[in-house]
Chains A and B, each alone.
Chain A
Amino acid sequence: MKEFVKLDKYGQLYIDRVLFESYFPVIFTCVNDKKDIFIGVCCQNNEKGCKWLLGKTNGISIVRMLRDEITIRQLLLECSSGKISVDYVQNRYIVAYDNSDWDEKSPYLPKEDSYMYAEDGEFEEEINYFSSMEYYVHYNGECYKPIAEAMGTINKGIEPMADALAVFASAIGNISISSEVVSTLRVFGELCTNFAANTGKYSNEEQYKLVFNSTFSVSPKDLGMELGSEDDNYINAA
C-alpha cells in the first residue's frame, strides 16, 4: 500500500481504498500498522496546497456511508474520532487535531447532504471488504484468559463490609450486599384469594400419573391472520 502521512498519535498511514477520485483521491480510506481504519476526505487541492480531513473509524461506519445510510459529513463528525487535519504546504505535512477545520460551519467539511449517491452495485466489492474487516468477537469462554473474578452473597439485612473490601485489590474475595424482596404481586393475590383453588402441596411430576403428553407442530401460516380492507379488521385482530 502507498504511504500517506505519518501521525504522531496513530503512526504511519497507508492509503487502502480509494472510494472516489478525480485527478487525485478525494474520498479514501487508510490503515495504519495496527490495522486501524481511517476515512480521509480531500477538501482542498489548489495552488495554496492540499488539505485532508481524517477520522479514525470502523468498517461498519464506512459500509453505512457506502450504502447512503449516512452522509460523508456524518461519517467524519459522528462516526469517527481524532478529528485529524493534514495540510501539505511547501512539500511538508502539517498535522493538527480538532482545529477550526472541524468547526460546524467550516468550509472544509462536506455539506449536509453529502451522500455517496452510489449506483446499484457500485461499491459492492468495497462493502464486502470493509464488512470483513470487522474483527470477530468470540463467544466461547475458552478464548478468554481469566484475569479477574469476584464472588459474593446477598442476604437481607447484611451491610457491605467496607473495610474488608478495601483490600480487595485483585478483585477476588467475598462481599455481602443487602437486598430487599419487593412484593409487587401481593395486591393481585389478595384480590383473587376467593377464586384461587386450594390445590394442596406442590409436588413434582413423578407423583402424577401421565395421562397426556404431546408436542405440537404448527405452521406459522396457520397462526397468522391476513387482514383485508374490511370494516371489522380490529375485531378479527382481537
Chain B
Amino acid sequence: MGNFNSVLTLQKMVFDRIEFDRKGFKNTNELKFGLQVQIGLDKNDTYKVTLVLNGTKQDEYNMEISLSGFFKVEEQEKLDDKMVQDLINKNAVAILMPYLRSELTLLTAQPDTDSVVLPPFNINKMFGN
C-alpha cells in the first residue's frame, strides 16, 4: 500500500469563540456574513490559521464563530515558498472550513431560527490561483 501521508499536518484545532446574541424574533430580513482569515507563524514554524465568521440578521441575531487550526509543514526546506504558501493559505483553510460550517449550522439550529448552511467555498478563488 502506498504512503498517503501529507506534508501538511494538523497539530491542534479549537474553537476560540462561539457567540449568539439574540436581538428579536424570527423575521425575513437579509442574512449577512463576513468571513475573515488570519494566518500567523511562530518561531517553531507552526502556522496558526484562524477563521472568523461574523453573521448578522438584522433585528434577529448577531453571531460570531472563531476557529483556529495549528498546522505544521513537514520537510518545509524541500518545498518552494509558493507551495508552502498554497498549503497554508488554501489547504489549511479548506480543512477548517467544514468544521466552521458545521458549527454555524449547530449554532443556528434553534427554536424560532432558520438553520444556516454555508455553501462550499472556492478556496482557490479566495486566495488567487
Q: A residues touching B (Cβ–Cβ < 8 Å)?
A: 81, 135-139, 141, 143-156, 160, 162, 165-169, 171, 175, 177-186, 189, 201-202
Which of B48, B118, B122 counts the most A-chain CB atoms under 10 A from its CB?
B48
Neighbouring B residues of A81 by C-beta, 8 Å? 3, 5, 74
8 additional contacts (CB under 8 A) given A169-B128, A179-B119 = A135-B46, A137-B11, A141-B40, A150-B36, A150-B126, A171-B39, A182-B115, A184-B115
Interchain CA distance A139-B46 in the complex, whole Å: 11
- Cβ–Cβ contact A138 & B46, under 8 A: yes
Q: Does A144 contact B40, Cβ atoms closer than 8 Å?
A: yes
Docked-complex contact A179 and B128, CB < 8 angstroms = no
Q: Which of B3, B14, B39, B116 is in CB contact (< 8 Å) with A182? A: B116
Majority SS at the chain B contact face = mixed
Verify A155–B32 contact, CB threshold 8 A: yes
Total A-B pairs, Cβ < 8 A: 131
- Closest A residue to B117 by CB, please name it: A182
Chain B residues with CB under 8 Å of chain A are 3, 5, 11-12, 14, 22-25, 30-44, 46-48, 50, 68, 70, 74, 85, 88-89, 109, 111-119, 121-122, 125-129
Residue numbers in B under 8 Å from A139 (CB-CB): 14, 68
B116 near A202: Cβ-Cβ < 8 Å? no
Q: Please, which residues of chain B bring their CB within 8 A of the CB of A165? A: 125-126, 128
Distance (whole angstroms) from the CB of B116 to the closest CB of chain A: 6
The reply to whether A144 and B117 form a contact with Cβ atoms under 8 Å apart is: no
Question: Complex formed: what's the CA distance from A165 to B113 in Å?
Answer: 33
> A154 touching B35 by the CB < 8 A rule?
yes
Say whether A168 contacts B39, CB under 8 Å: no
**Given A137-B11, A202-B25, residue A178 in contact with residue B119 (CB < 8 A):** yes
Which residue of A has the minimal Cβ distance to B44? A135
